[in-house]
């Protein structure tokens, strides 16, 4: 086998291994995500966090999988997740003045626990909030 | 001959089913940007038309900073802004379709 062919094969294998190692998440560091059409600079609220969780009790899942839109709505309203969240398809979005208007440096991650009889799986949204 | 016809029909059905992968709306946002964190109060923008982008695992990632951890929404917005030259994308809708994610919105300049 020619040395050129071998080096091409090695390069292809390396490229494949790098691609295989890549991990994907919904958002890693989105510069700006606004809940409002008004994108003018606002007042900082500091770090904000929102979550949407699914509980599993004795192997029975209470509702569907955590949803991105509900986690973002939770971040906007600054509300914590409840055990019945999975039963609701939508979460009410607040339009009050205290609600987050836009977020900077937005990231998402999965979190939770499994204690055998009860488990919790959450989709978490983090960022810096502004109103 | 019949076997060949069956194979062709089965292949066509598989291809059709592959194209018919449903897309699911996962997030709506009135404005998103990967280049700006906010704008001056008096800044004015105008719509430059509809824009779409698509990102699938394995595609070239422009926002990857070397840790091989890639944000799908980051990539969609960056790709859409790069191709349209938009300051931000209004009325953004994010969909999942199979392993891929899609963005539809309005380019704002």
pLDDT at A15: 56
Listed by number, the residues of chain A in 70-99 with a beta carbon closer than 8 Å to a beta carbon of chain B are: 72
Pairing of strands B100-108, A60-62: unpaired
Query: pLDDT of B23-73, one tens digit each?
Result: 999 999 999 999 999 999 888 999 999 999 999 998 988 887 778 889 999
**Which of A33, A71, A76, A91 is the best substitution to test chain B (most B C-beta atoms within 10 A)?**
A33
The answer to whether the Cβ–Cβ distance between B69 and A27 falls below 8 Å is no
Q: Is the pLDDT of residue B12 over 90?
A: no
The answer to whether the Cβ–Cβ distance between B27 and A72 falls below 8 Å is yes
Pinpoint the alpha helices (H) of B20-90: 72-84
- ipTM value greater than 0.85: no
Question: In chain A, how long is the greatest CA-to-CA distance?
Answer: 70
Which of helix, strand or coil describes residue A116? coil
CB distance B48 to B109 below 8 Å: yes
Q: Among B27, B32, B64, whose Cβ lies nearest the Cβ of A32?
A: B32
| Tokens representing residue A92 in the block | 């009410």
Q: Which band of pLDDT confidence, cut at 50, 70 and 90, is reported for residue A21?
A: confident
């Amino acid at each position: 086998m020619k040395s050129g062919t071998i080096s091409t094969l090695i390069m292809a294998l390396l490229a494949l291994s790098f691609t295989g190692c890549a991990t994907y998440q919904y958002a890693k560091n989105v510069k700006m995500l606004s809940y409002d059409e008004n994108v003018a600079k606002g007042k900082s609220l500091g770090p904000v966090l929102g979550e949407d969780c699914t509980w599993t009790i004795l192997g029975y899942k209470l509702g569907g999988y955590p949803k991105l839109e509900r986690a973002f709505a939770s971040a906007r309203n600054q509300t914590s997740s409840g055990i019945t969240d999975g039963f609701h398809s939508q979460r009410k979005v607040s339009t009050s003045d205290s609600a987050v208007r836009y977020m900077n440096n937005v990231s998402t991650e999965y979190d939770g626990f499994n204690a055998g009889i009860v488990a919790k799986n959450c989709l978490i949204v983090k960022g810096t909030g502004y109103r | 001959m019949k076997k060949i016809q069956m194979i062709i029909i089965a292949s066509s059905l598989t291809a059709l089913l592959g194209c018919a992968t449903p897309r699911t709306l996962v997030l709506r946002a009135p404005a998103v940007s990967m280049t700006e964190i906010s704008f001056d109060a008096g800044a004015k923008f105008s719509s430059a038309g509809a824009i779409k982008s698509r990102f699938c695992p394995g595609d070239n990632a422009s926002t990857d900073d070397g840790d091989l951890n890639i944000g799908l929404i980051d990539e969609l917005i960056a790709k859409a802004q790069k191709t349209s030259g938009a300051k931000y994308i209004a009325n953004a809708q994010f969909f999942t379709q199979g392993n891929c994610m899609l963005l539809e919105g309005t380019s704002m300049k």
